[in-house]
Structure 1
Amino acid sequence: MTAAKTPTAPMAPADLYRHSLRLLLDKDIDGWVALCDENVVFEFPFAPEGFPARLEGRAAVAEYMRGYPDHVDFREILSMEIHQTTNPETIVAEWRGAGRIVAIDAPYDMPYVAVVTVSNGRITHYRDYWNPAAIPGSADNAKFFPDAR
């Protein structure tokens, strides 16, 4: 006889976000996308021309992230601070990630601020204030992220 499985409670938003970054470090893009709700909305307020400003749905996020490890070899989190908002489902994460830009084997060191809402253990809204135009030495970021268009 098999013991009944005890349902596990969804992760708190801060824990889910930390877990999502671990998945990125592990290059587990499928696992990362699986943390998103089917109807997730991603927004990129600083998206330069040629980059999407908004993604709607898990499939769109999966397509956007598909080649991420081929473009950025994300290796470490240099700093991390997570702030709880008055909405218990929403956090603000300030962090800095580092690695390599694969196409030119150049350093990648980027500060991020993300406003993330989680419901029922899934990311439902993600507003990402990263700036692709801040990639060092690049006036044409599309050559580093050809799948972004």
Structure 2
Amino acid sequence: MPNPATTLFHRAMHLLLAKDMPGFIALFADDAVLEFPFAPPGQPGRVAGRAAVHDYLIDYPDILDVHEITEVTVHETTDPAVIVTEFTAVGVVVATGEPYRLRYIAVLTVRDGHIVHYRDYWNPQAAQDLLGGGLVRS
């Protein structure tokens, strides 16, 4: 039987590629938390609650046009509700038309078919460079 956290992660990546942000956001629990341990100054390190997740992510496709999620590795843990994922997002920075390619590591915790905690590790300096110093989103 597939790990539910792994299945949910793959569903999330499918929705992200489809630019279905309402569908992507619906995967988060009402009390979900996004954490960005490497967030640069002026950017949130934590977004709590589905409503806040919505506000943070709803315009994501207007910032980054992600075409591919590559180099995907999912590490299942001894806790079936927790996975560690590695992947690369490939696309275009909408404002500039410049290519975007950034490696991510994310730790997901799921409960009852929803993401309750998404800890996103990425290189904020590389993201700022790619986005031309603009808004950094993971």
Q: Settle same-fold status: TM greater than 0.5.
A: yes
Match of 2:19 among 27, 36, 49: 27
- Matched residue of 2:110: which SS? strand
What are the ranges of 5 or more consecutive residues in structure 2 without an aligned counterpart? none
| Partner residue, 1:47 | 39
Normalised TM-score (structure 2): 0.91
- Identity between Structure 1 and Structure 2 (%): 44
Mapping 1:96-107, distance limit 5 Å: 96-107=88-99
Match of 1:93 among 82, 85, 88: 85
* Counterparts of 2:131 and 2:66, CA distance in 1: 18
Mapping 1:118-137, distance limit 5 Å: 118-135=110-127, 136-137=129-130
Offset of residue 137 of structure 1: 4.9
- Alignment partner of 1:16 is 2:26: no
Offset of residue 128 of structure 1: 0.3
- Matched residue of 2:75: which SS? strand
- Alignment partner of 1:141 is 2:130: no
Offset of residue 26 of structure 1: 0.3
Normalised TM-score (structure 1): 0.85
The alignment's C-alpha RMSD in Å is: 1.5
Q: Render the CA deviation track for 1:78-121: whole Å, top value 9, x for unaligned.
A: 21000011211000000111000000100000100000000100
Runs of 4+ in 1 over 6 A off after TM superposition: none
* Counterparts of 1:41 and 1:99, CA distance in 2: 26
Larger radius of gyration: 1
Q: Render the CA deviation track for 1:111-140: whole Å, top value 9, x for unaligned.
A: 000000001000000100023321345562
What are the ranges of 5 or more consecutive residues in structure 1 without an aligned counterpart? 1-10
